Amino acid sequence: MTVALLAQLTPAPGDIEGNVRRAAGLVAEHPEADLAVFPELYVGGYDLTAARETAVEPEGPELQPLRDAAREARTAVLVGFSERLDGPPANSLLAIDEHGELAGIHRKSALWGEESRAFSSGGAMTVVGVAGRRAGLMVCYEIEFPELARALAVAGADLLVTASANMEPYYDDHELSGRARALDNRVPHLYVNRAGAEAGITFVGGTRAIGADGQVLAQAGDGDEVLVVEVPDPPAGDGGPTDYLANLPASVAVVSGDESLGG
């Protein structure tokens, strides 16, 4: 069982110091949490025109208070940020382990809309060891692709985590996709969205913890809200991806319409 803090927050646009301080404060207030998750681009906000301006380095001084809070509370942290690179920044999800050390970075590969103008695309999916779990990481739009979550599960993820900045009018897309990705793979799923409005966009909240059977364990509304939930381990030997893939055919036969009708 993992205790998770799911922080559905409205970041202050461009206020890196204030947003990090707020996140660090929440981690300190909830030492019972094994894992704390914050939304997509939480550190600097979701203003694509400011992606370079708000970009920081994973081990830079801007994020040190959050690393300190993780170490002191013995809580692993996943937080979205604009990652400074040599070229365009990446829309990244930073993993900090319970010792305050960098555990991994996932760079969003499925960029949505104008994000492709602001960010470089990541080239791989990411499974990272945090809080005693193997967490498969996704960022927002990636939740809508079954293949991505399946690749994480096949790679050994026993928990899916999505950090999101989902907006109007796409609430239903992520409500369905979040539950489906858990059920597809028989793996619990933590989905953390942001709240509020920024750069002319209204974000829809709906942060939720989802069990391996696709059922919602806890859910937030559309405003700022923090959930502390118990996330069970996935059931063993239930026919999940690692159990049945070895028995699947190695190829797919494509039959033309005429042949399938005996013509």
Residues annotated as catalytic (active site), given as ranges: 40, 108, 140
Is residue 40 within 8 Å of 7, Cβ to Cβ?
A: no
Read off the amino acid at residue 187.
V
- Distance between CA 143 and CA 250 in Å, rounded? 26
- Distance between CA 180 and CA 160 in Å, rounded? 12
Is residue 35 within 8 Å of 4, Cβ to Cβ?
A: yes
- Which distant-in-sequence residues (6+ apart) come within 8 Å of 137 by Cβ? 78, 93, 95, 104, 106, 125, 126, 127, 128, 152, 161, 162, 163
Question: How far is residue 13 CA from its own chain's centroid?
Answer: 20
